[in-house]
A = this chain, B = another copy of it.
Amino acid sequence: MHHPSPSYPSRVQLREVGLRDGLQSIATQLPTEHKRAWIRAAHAAGQRELEVGSFVPARLLPQLADTAELVAFARSLPGMVTSVLVPNLKGAQAAIAAQADSLLVPLSVSHAHSLANVRKTPDDMVAEIARIRAERDAAGSKTRIEVGLSTAFGCTLQGVVDLSEVLRLLQAVLDAGADTVGLADTVGYADPRMVRERFEAGRRIAGDRLDCGHFHDTRGLGQANVFAALETGVTRFDACLGGIGGCPHAPGASGNVAMEDLVYLMRSMGIATGIDFDAVMALRGQLASWLRGEILHGSIWKAGLPKTLLQAPAEAAAA
């Protein structure tokens, strides 16, 4: 059973997706002014990658109608990488016009989920990604095209999602012009063994272009899944401050892994994130006051940092 210990990266990138993935699925509509304060505080805490919104029709997601303004604001902060979600070519055009650093196109590997969510098959989405790539190149834009393969570990509608289908679509989106790809456990079905096996298989095809893990903590395996992906060489992870986003299929259960939990996990393992834990926890408190009535999730807030980390200088082990 035993095998030698992997080497771990000295640094990982944690992308805050709470402003999009979190806010889009909760009732409270956060005013633009508070979103700007969040972005400013996240930057001050050392966060350097934020998904600030989504270019979708405002009638569908009125709470994200200020995305262009937030892209402009986030881009004004030194060193900030600003990403937006776009479901189609039209959204991509808006992202390119706004000069977002990265546009993320979600593609559901589950045929049933894809149809239910965007009324397109996965292969229709591959064709849309090719159009987005052509548009980006024709515009001479530097916006990075990232594809998030959602339901990559299972689906609430169709159940099992075959690894072969994940790998087929991974290759297809690379061929269609995606710069990088991530695998997303959209519904919290992944386990760490599956994460390891799917990321390993994916990275044999895509190498470091399969660079991002997006995990939910719906069933308590979020941190285990992040660790399993980390062991395959993945060095970018999505997370939401306070674990916001929830899980519409399981009221009360958490959705996205909590940013503060990932900051703790990485710091505990001596892996640098550039993010100050105390500042993120303070921002979590601020978010709780903005979202009064919404349930925040996560684990580390209950017990706080262990004494072993309080004794050590922050990120000392990453030097």
Task: Give which listed residue, B7, B219, B300, contacts A299 with CB less than 8 A.
Answer: B219
Which residues does chain B contribute within 8 Å of A7, judged by CB atoms? 1, 3
Is A31 among interface residues, defined by CB-CB distance under 8 A?
A: no
Knowing A3-B3, A228-B227 touch, does A253 contact B193 (C-beta < 8 A)?
Answer: no
Do the beta carbons of A203 and B2 come within 8 Å of each other? Answer: yes
| Residue in B closest to A153 when the chains form the complex, CB atoms | B308
Residue A192 is within 8 A (CB to CB) of chain B in the complex: yes
Task: Report whether B200 and A306 are in contact in the complex, using a CB–CB cutoff of 8 Å.
Answer: no
Contacts of A303 in B (CB 8 A): 188, 218-219, 247, 249-250, 253
Given known pairs A221-B265, A265-B221, the reply for A252 and B302 (CB within 8 Å) is yes
From B203, B219, B254, B261, give the contact of A306 (CB < 8 A): B219
- By the criterion CB–CB under 8 Å, are B191 and A298 in contact? no
Complex: chain B residue closest to A157, CB-CB: B307
Task: Tell me, in angstroms, the Cα distance from A236 to B185 when the chains sit together.
Answer: 28
> What string of 1s and 0s marks CB contacts (under 8 Å) between A247-287 and chain B?
10110111000000100110011100000000000000000
Which range holds the interface residue count of chain A? 35 or more
CB pair B249–A160 under 8 Å, yes or no, is no
Q: Cβ of A247: which chain B residues have Cβ within 8 Å of it?
A: 303
Q: Which residues of B contact A218 (CB under 8 A)?
A: 302-303
Closest chain-B Cβ to A65's Cβ sits at a distance in Å of 31
Q: Which of A290-311 contact B (CB under 8 A)?
A: 298-300, 302-304, 306-308, 311
> Does the CB pair B311–A160 fall under 8 Å?
yes
**Oligomer copy total:** 2
Contacts of A308 in B (CB 8 A): 154, 159-160, 189
In the complex, which residues of chain B have a beta carbon less than 8 angstroms from the beta carbon of A232?
Answer: 1-2
Shortest beta-carbon distance from A281 to chain B in Å: 13
Q: Mark A56-83, 1 if CB is under 8 A from B, else 0.
A: 0000000000000000000000000000
**What residues of B have a CB within 8 angstroms of the CB of A194 in the complex?**
268-269
Task: Tell me the complex Cα distance, A6–B298, Å.
Answer: 29
* Contacting residue for A233 out of B2, B155, B306, CB 8 A: B2
Beyond A5-B196, A219-B264, A227-B227, 10 additional pairs, beta carbon < 8 A: A159-B308, A160-B308, A189-B306, A191-B269, A192-B224, A192-B265, A221-B265, A224-B224, A224-B227, A250-B303
